[in-house]
A = this chain, B = another copy of it.
Amino acid sequence: MKSFFAPRGVMVIGASASPEKLGAVMATSLDSSGLPVARVNPRATEDGFVASAAEAAEAIVAMGGQPDLAVICVPAPATALAIAECAAAGVTAALVCSGGFSEAGPAGIAIEAAVKQELDRTGMRLLGPNTSGYFSPGSKLIASFVPGAHQLTAGNVALVAASGGVNHMLAFRFAAHGIGLSLGVGIGTGIDVDHTDVLNYLATDENTDVIALHIENVDDGPRLLSAVRAAAERKPVVALVVGENNVSEFAQSHTGALATSWRTTRSVLAQAGAVIVDSEEQLISAVIGLRSGRLHAESHGSAALITGQAGPGLLIADALASAEVDLPPLAQSTQDTLGTLLPPITFQANPVDTGRPSETFPEVISTVAADQAIDVVGIYGLTEPVLDMVASVRPALAHNDARIVVAMDGPPADIAGIQAQAVAAGVPFVTGPHALADALSALIQDRKVRPRAANFAVSDKLVIANDRTWDENSTKDAVGALGIPTPRRCIAHSREEAHQALTDLSGPLAVKILFPVVLHKTDVGGVHLNVSTPEMLDVAWDALEKIGAEQVLLEQMAPGGVDLIVGARRDPVFGPIVLLGLGGTTAEAVGDVAIRSAPLSPETAAAMIDDLAASQLLFGWRGGPTVDPASLGSVLSTLGGIVATNDWIEEVEINPLRITDQGLIALDSVLITRGEGQ
């Protein structure tokens, strides 16, 4: 990636003398880097142009550089040839901004295939096509045709955007907050260089302290996840994923690819350590919160809020509660000190409502920041002539471990001035109540999702031999052998065996058709519940015989409880994933499901419960049973491990897995081998 982002020389293929043409704009833009830049145009006769890549390489070397990067500004059909020539001249990295590749239909697909073939043959790396490029303001390297990009300043934030437009949009938004960039890259169609490549480069880039990702679709999920994990171990990663709704027709025209499942992508990126945001505004606030440092990994993840005005404070507290950020009551000793600093009528437990900030404000901040239970302090206030906010936070910054984020509102010119002071002082600064809540919750979310040491190793006991027919009984045998409780059961091939089973198992039984391909037993009348007498069993047997049952499964009925759906399957993008949802159509209709990539530890899996909007139903809702999270985590980890370990398994599902007063029990289960479910 160094050839792209720290080249020793650049050639522009298709450079033009017409200043409005892409090839001219790019060459002019690159000149400001001070690097050797050579303009290639076989038809150009003017000074300053050369006729070929080979001549350009010579010229660059003559200027003391190396021809690392080619910016290719020729029409799509000429791209493959340009790559071949550049590679022959020693270039190792190519940026292609134009469109006309696979997104443009059959002709474009053929063009893209030819380009890829050339990349394979030469080992050249390609960024694009369909991108407005990238910029590295620190080295004044602006490989972008967007003129305003030259006004961007250097800083410690890196952007990796699926779209060149979004890359620039975010960069300008950061500029409005006084924040500079180490690198901003638009991946474009991404036929070669992708998010993962750039992320791996940024993980160890010393100029980058926080990485913001904008993702439209993912090709190689596991590769991206491992890059996110590696990066997030070192620095915060914030991710905005597009595609909550079906915008695939438009998206496809844009990227030539169907959007990856939004829900799955967000879930597994968070699991890998990324802070997930819902909008570009939230991304900006999250990065501002995180760019001056993360919370300690061992911190509680608790916030305090100090507000000069109660009304905005209430908006912030409400938004923090929505983000599940805890504002715990401050220690009594903290509250006692605050009592000496603030008028008695203000609220001091947390939030701390100071009323109009007075001269005690710096001490209020230091007092709250010194509270052992508090890891981050958010401060909100309207601007006031008597209030020097940046000076007020300085004592706390100097003496306390807690991180501090400041938000203010006031006359725009005043805000601009304070923002500049805050940026200079390294104080995260945003405008408005919601932005403060977003910045605080990003700090806490980062601490929560940050990858913990030690990868989880799957037990080798999860190897299952594909040596039988996979019906409900054999699947239950398999998952039961791995520690997932199943009901006591028998198989009957005759009425006599069935009656024997009724005697042996005792108690009311579920009597079900047993046949590998009948996946919806209930729909065909293949399930009879609460069979407790020989008469009832005969009725059930007759009915099952009528629908052609040759084997019948007889099981002890489980006690009542709350039904879950748990399973693991192969996601086409991310590989093995685990799913947890509540039973019933409503949960399915509202999409209330938790997703993780597998393998995963029982502890990681247990936390999936928190993702469910209706999670309270699992904890003694209306006198019902309460789940043991460790047991559920263990079931989910086992299912994920099964799919991750056994290549021949496409999917394993337990539906329902019932929470009862006696623990979890798998009432039905299905195993689908690869190819079978397609």
Residues of A at the B interface (CB closer than 8 Å) are 20, 99-100, 103-104, 132, 146-148, 151, 161-169, 172-173, 175-176, 186, 214, 216, 242-247, 249-251, 253-254, 279-281, 308-315, 317-319, 321-322, 345-347, 349, 351, 353, 355, 382-386, 409-415, 431-435, 582, 584-587, 589-590, 592, 613-614, 616-617, 621-622
CB distance from A543 to the nearest CB of B (A): 16
In the complex, the answer to whether B590 meets A313 with C-beta atoms within 8 Å is no
In the complex, the answer to whether B166 meets A100 with C-beta atoms within 8 Å is no
In the complex, the answer to whether A345 meets B104 with C-beta atoms within 8 Å is yes
Beyond A165-B310, A250-B347, 17 extra complex contacts between A and B, CB < 8 Å = A99-B355, A146-B384, A148-B382, A148-B383, A151-B413, A168-B382, A172-B410, A173-B409, A186-B311, A246-B321, A247-B314, A250-B314, A253-B346, A281-B432, A586-B614, A590-B613, A590-B614
CB distance from A29 to the nearest CB of B (A): 13
In the complex, the answer to whether A412 meets B176 with C-beta atoms within 8 Å is yes
CB distance from A98 to the nearest CB of B (A): 10
A-B contact pairs, 20 of them (CB 8 A): A151-B411, A163-B310, A163-B312, A164-B309, A165-B311, A172-B410, A172-B412, A173-B431, A242-B318, A245-B318, A247-B321, A250-B313, A250-B353, A253-B310, A253-B353, A586-B587, A586-B592, A589-B613, A589-B616, A590-B592
In the complex, the answer to whether B253 meets A347 with C-beta atoms within 8 Å is yes
Point out the residues of chain B lying under 8 angstroms from A147, CB to CB: 384-385
In the complex, the answer to whether B410 meets A345 with C-beta atoms within 8 Å is no
Point out the residues of chain B lying under 8 angstroms from A584, CB to CB: 584, 586
In the complex, the answer to whether B586 meets A161 with C-beta atoms within 8 Å is no
Point out the residues of chain B lying under 8 angstroms from A347, CB to CB: 250, 253-254
In the complex, the answer to whether A250 meets B317 with C-beta atoms within 8 Å is yes
Bound complex: CA A414 to CA B409 (Å): 22
Known: A163-B311, A165-B310, A318-B243. A621 touches B250 (CB 8 A): no
Point out the residues of chain B lying under 8 angstroms from A244, CB to CB: 318, 321-322
Query: A168, A315, A435 — which one has the most chain B CB atoms within 10 A of its CB?
Result: A315
CB distance from A432 to the nearest CB of B (A): 6
CB distance from A107 to the nearest CB of B (A): 11
CB distance from A407 to the nearest CB of B (A): 10
In the complex, the answer to whether B169 meets A312 with C-beta atoms within 8 Å is yes
CB distance from A332 to the nearest CB of B (A): 17
Bound complex: CA A279 to CA B318 (Å): 10
- A175 nearest CB neighbor, chain B only: B412
Point out the residues of chain B lying under 8 angstroms from A318, CB to CB: 242-245, 247
Query: A172, A244, A616 — which one has the most chain B CB atoms within 10 A of its CB?
Result: A172
Bound complex: CA A171 to CA B311 (Å): 14
- A355 nearest CB neighbor, chain B only: B99
Query: A164, A216, A280 — which one has the most chain B CB atoms within 10 A of its CB?
Result: A280
In the complex, the answer to whether A415 meets B310 with C-beta atoms within 8 Å is no
Bound complex: CA A216 to CA B163 (Å): 40
Bound complex: CA A383 to CA B176 (Å): 14
- A130 nearest CB neighbor, chain B only: B310
In the complex, the answer to whether A319 meets B432 with C-beta atoms within 8 Å is no
Point out the residues of chain B lying under 8 angstroms from A409, CB to CB: 168-169, 172-173
Bound complex: CA A414 to CA B103 (Å): 32
CB distance from A348 to the nearest CB of B (A): 9
In the complex, the answer to whether B322 meets A245 with C-beta atoms within 8 Å is yes
In the complex, the answer to whether B322 meets A434 with C-beta atoms within 8 Å is no
Bound complex: CA A271 to CA B517 (Å): 50
In the complex, the answer to whether B166 meets A315 with C-beta atoms within 8 Å is yes
In the complex, the answer to whether A353 meets B586 with C-beta atoms within 8 Å is no
CB distance from A410 to the nearest CB of B (A): 5
- A186 nearest CB neighbor, chain B only: B311
In the complex, the answer to whether A411 meets B585 with C-beta atoms within 8 Å is no
Point out the residues of chain B lying under 8 angstroms from A414, CB to CB: 148
- A176 nearest CB neighbor, chain B only: B412
Bound complex: CA A586 to CA B246 (Å): 25
Point out the residues of chain B lying under 8 angstroms from A164, CB to CB: 309, 311
In the complex, the answer to whether A245 meets B148 with C-beta atoms within 8 Å is no
In the complex, the answer to whether A585 meets B617 with C-beta atoms within 8 Å is yes
- A131 nearest CB neighbor, chain B only: B311
Bound complex: CA A132 to CA B309 (Å): 10
Name the one of B161, B315, B321, B616 contacting A280, with C-beta atoms under 8 angstroms: B315
Point out the residues of chain B lying under 8 angstroms from A589, CB to CB: 613-614, 616-617, 621
- A621 nearest CB neighbor, chain B only: B585
Point out the residues of chain B lying under 8 angstroms from A410, CB to CB: 148, 172
Bound complex: CA A433 to CA B186 (Å): 17
Point out the residues of chain B lying under 8 angstroms from A321, CB to CB: 244-247
Nearest 9 Cβ contacts at the A-B interface:
A163-B311, A165-B309, A245-B321, A589-B614, A166-B311, A165-B311, A254-B310, A253-B347, A586-B586
